[in-house]
A and B are shown apart, each in its own frame.
Chain A
Amino acid sequence: MSKLIFEISRKDRRAFELLSTRIEQKKAEELFPERYLRKEPARLPEVSELDVVRHFTELSTRNFGVDSGFYPLGSCTMKYNPKINEKVASYSGFANIHPYQPESTVQGALRLMYELSGSLAEITGMDKISLQPSAGAQGEMAGLMVIKKYHEKMGEYQRNKIICPDSAHGTNPASAAISGFDILQVKSNERGMVDVDELKRLVGSDTAGLMLTNPNTLGLFEEDIVEIASIIHKAGGLLYYDGANANAILGKSRPGDMGFDVVHLNLHKTFTTPHGGGGPGAGPIGVKEFLYPFVSVPVIEEKDGTYYLDYNRPDSIGKVKAFYGNFLILVRAYAYILSMGAEGLADVSSNAVLNANYMLSRLKDVYDVPFGERCMHEFVISGEKQKKMGASTISIAKRLLDYGYHPPTIYFPLVVKEAMMIEPTEAESMETLDEFIAVLRKINDEIEDNPEEVNHSPHTTVVGRLDEVKAARTPVVKYSFENNDQ
């Protein structure tokens, strides 16, 4: 068991030092009215610098990242995060600049953002990019608000329905709802794609738009996309592209050419910025020219070689975050684009799709494949057969931990029972894929022989399966100092 930092605290130990100063130091009571003051200090730990280093180093050893091993978490694109990206993002000229500095002192930063916007527009086939959203979900909200604002500008206030497939990421309907839309769900057909006939029935004068991931969350390219776009556009709606799966289409097909009006990209997926244990990411959006007046302020413009922030945009949705975007993430993404080039990016998608299909071809005789023989950059298999033998998908995932792998995304998409969504990415070698395939096949054998062994996994991790019911019934979300007073 790893101690909490509060449990290694010793009175009067310290890791903090201030500059010495010749400025007269008044006490808090002399600076503020008594009733404004804190009576008891916050119980932060009292530790030495080495205590801090040992503590967090130990925690890092209890964590698994892409650098630790294969991480085929579907829909998350856990590919290698190049070290050069980290290096350039740490340059003081990027990390230590204030958002309100005069524009003349941040020309390099503005230029980088401007150039990145150009590259992202080209990759997605959109006209303009807004770099502001902090993450994919915030990008969705920003993009949907752009759609809303556009319809309002056109006087079509009745367009209040957003259509989402039943296979959509949870953020899609959630973002649409918080942006003020009602949600209509369109079913997947027997091929795992949007049911076009049902879509035709759902559209109308109240249609604001359709949100679609393409390839979708089953790893399938929506083959009817051109017709879908036409149905939505004819009904007066707009198309929103969830870029979570953009790793499949770089240089192969562009959302703008497919008919989408708004896209968001997850730079922490497709463009190799690290996931950070849950963030920060960045979720820039791209729009067609006619929607550009509505994106959040400011946008970055260039005139005669000088870059500036343009706030004068009366139709804008406003701001979705303070300042301009997750800049240091943007730096990393641009570094990646520059290190790949156009051909390199097309190779990314070629190899991502090749790797996924190879894995699928070598697993389909053992695990059920609900949709199709082929896939794009990821695929979904079902553990239904294994469940019948006595071990469900959660146990397969936990057993993978014993073999040193991060499991796939499980129980998503919701349209597949016992789903396992596997995304190998282009960064992994054939040997890695072969080893993982062998393990998944072996786990199937283990379930045939003795499902209980699999059901009790993991056996090798620092803790076993944790009691999530207890955690949620009687939540303990902070350390209790009372039990161990300093």
Chain B
Amino acid sequence: MHKYIPNTSEEIKEMIDRIGVASVDELFSTIPDEIRFKGKLNLPKKMTEQELDKYMRELAAMNSSTDDLICFLGAGAYDHYIPSVVNALTSRSEFYTAYTPYQAEISQGVLQAIFEFQTMVSEITGMDAANASMYDGSSSTAEACSIALVNAHKRNRILVSEGLHPETRKVIHTYMSGRDAVIVEIPLKDGETDYDELALLCDDATAAVCIQSPNFFGIVEDMDKAGEIAHANNAAFIVNTDLIALGILKPPSESGADFVVGEAQGLGNPLSFGGPHLGFFATTNKYLRKMPGRIVGETNDAEGRRGYVLTLQAREQHIRREKATSNICSNHALNALAATIYMSVLGKKGLQELALRCANNARYASEKLVETGKFHLKYNKPFFKEFLLEAEEDPSEINKRLLESGILGGYETKRCYPGLQKGWLVAVTERRTKAEIDDLAKKAGGKS
């Protein structure tokens, strides 16, 4: 008997008698004998809960977490503080052991929370509508490209800035490989999308222009310019952004964005070695009925009581099947719930304060590091919580030295940008103190 399987041998006997078979094994007789698995699976030995707990602790202890290391690494995943209320509330099992809220009457909790999430994302991005979440920032960006493409009659070019996260660009390439699409990468000029090049390449075959701001190097791009170029050519304007940055930065809607997408892990979700994270997706009313994924709408019952339901389902794969624009079924609802709770904690003022703190911390760290004389700022452009330095030393060596002192150093841009062999991308969130930043500068600046 296993603790997760309650049937007793007496009950099993009663049940097979009732069914009218001689044994449980007989129920598997429809599986042809030649493909019946006869042996015992070669799996690790069963563990009791205590043994399992111990083994998992051992595996976890082989990793150095951001509790052990002072984190200055970002590049798409950020070490923001998560207030205790977030986990306390997402741990309520009425939320986390539920499935997609198909039965609205007994799912008002998660439906209303998603409605609040949609409202918050719409509000921060300035867009008309947002969906219930996507897997991550990369897939939400790729899905925006899909919709733009499908709705741009006979246009097949997608212009993607090289300021977009390298992994997001790779995901876009994969998602578009099944479609008739040509992806053109727009180079950067002084850390920002080369708008002259963009204007040159954007034409009447362009379905969409996709820009990230703050971009991969933390630089706040000139979104008005990007939006103008896209719209002058009737192309959709896709903006990948950081919701925290929008605490102080202009909402993309004001630059004419048609789609605002991105990664929202930093809002109440842990780094998790890269997943599960949280994609968000917002758009204008024009594309409301084309959006991928679940959407919650407000309505009422026969007695006029307000309630929430999954709506506009005719877009989705379970109805449209091969004619659906997206195949997404489950999303990242629990991560969206965490983000909703986190944004409720932040509130109207907190979001601004958080954004400003990140920006000031990053500014201070850049100054301290440049002061050492061993780095210079690669680009002279306004940045948010992350900035690119060019180092005298090989950044791999710097990172090794920092790690010995318990510091998780910045991202080495040579991993994805061959032209930036000595680039070192440093992220500074609100968690970092002056002492930690001073220490980083001291240790990164040279052996002491």
Task: Find out whether the CB atom of A52 lies under 8 angstroms from the CB atom of B341.
Answer: yes
Determine if B59 and A276 form an interchain contact, defined as CB atoms under 8 angstroms apart.
Answer: no
CB of B173 within 8 A of CB of A461, answer no
Q: Provide 27 A-B residue pairs closer than 8 Å at the C-beta atoms, listed in order of the A residue.
A: A6-B116, A16-B349, A41-B349, A44-B347, A52-B344, A57-B89, A57-B92, A63-B94, A80-B4, A82-B4, A94-B63, A95-B270, A101-B73, A107-B62, A171-B318, A177-B322, A276-B98, A278-B99, A281-B330, A328-B270, A328-B272, A342-B42, A354-B12, A358-B15, A361-B20, A430-B7, A479-B116
Q: Is A308 an interface residue (CB 8 A)?
A: no
Instruction: Please tell me if A428 contacts chain B, counting CB pairs below 8 Å.
Output: yes
Q: In whole angstroms, what is the CA distance A145 to B173 when docked?
A: 12
Across-interface contacts of A49 in B (CB, < 8 A) = 83, 85, 345
The complex places the Cα of A446 from the Cα of B303 at a distance, in Å, of: 24
Q: Does A188 contact B (CB under 8 A)?
A: no
Q: A60-B89, A321-B136, A339-B52 are in contact. Are A279 and B331 (CB under 8 A)?
A: yes
Contacts known (A92-B65, A107-B62); A341 close to B43, Cβ less than 8 A:
yes
Given contacts A2-B112, A43-B123, A134-B135, 17 further A-B contacts (CB under 8 A): A6-B116, A16-B347, A45-B344, A52-B345, A67-B93, A91-B56, A102-B399, A105-B64, A115-B44, A226-B32, A276-B335, A322-B171, A328-B270, A354-B15, A361-B19, A461-B105, A475-B311
| Chain B residues in 8 Å Cβ range of A340 | 2, 4, 46
Contact of A19 among B109, B344, B430 (CB under 8 A): B430
List residues of chain A with CB within 8 A of the CB of B418. none
- Is B188 in contact with chain A by the CB < 8 A criterion? no
Residues on B with beta carbons closer than 8 Å to the beta carbon of A109: 59, 62-63, 273
Is B332 in the interface zone, CB < 8 Å from A?
A: yes
A4, A374, A406: the one within 8 Å of B103 (CB) = A406
Among residues of B, the one whose C-beta sits closest to the C-beta of A410 is: B102
Does B364 sit within 8 A of A, measured CB to CB? yes
Task: Answer yes or no: A28 CB below 8 A from chain B CBs.
Answer: yes
Name the A residues within 8 Å of B168 (CB-CB): 322
Q: How far is it, in angstroms, between the C-alpha of A257 and the C-alpha of B59 when the chains are bound?
A: 32
Do A471 and B344 have beta carbons less than 8 Å apart?
A: no
Q: Is the CB of A84 within 8 A of B53?
A: yes
Number of contact residues on A: which range applies?
A: 35 or more
Bound Cα distance A327, B277 (Å): 10
Q: Are B344 and A55 in contact (CB under 8 A)?
A: yes
In the assembly, what is the distance between CA of A323 and CA of B302, in Å? Answer: 47
Contacts known (A253-B31, A345-B43); A134 close to B136, Cβ less than 8 A: yes
- The answer, yes or no, to whether B419 is at the interface (CB within 8 Å) is no
Flag if B317 contacts A170 (CB, 8 Å): yes
Chain A residues contacting B6 (CB-CB under 8 Å) are 427-430
CB atoms of B30 and A220 under 8 A apart: yes
In the complex, the answer to whether B99 meets A38 with C-beta atoms within 8 Å is no
Residues of B within 8 A of A16 (CB): 83, 345-347, 349-350, 353-354
- Minimal beta-carbon separation of B142 from chain A (angstroms): 9
Contact of A320 among B130, B174, B335 (CB under 8 A): B174
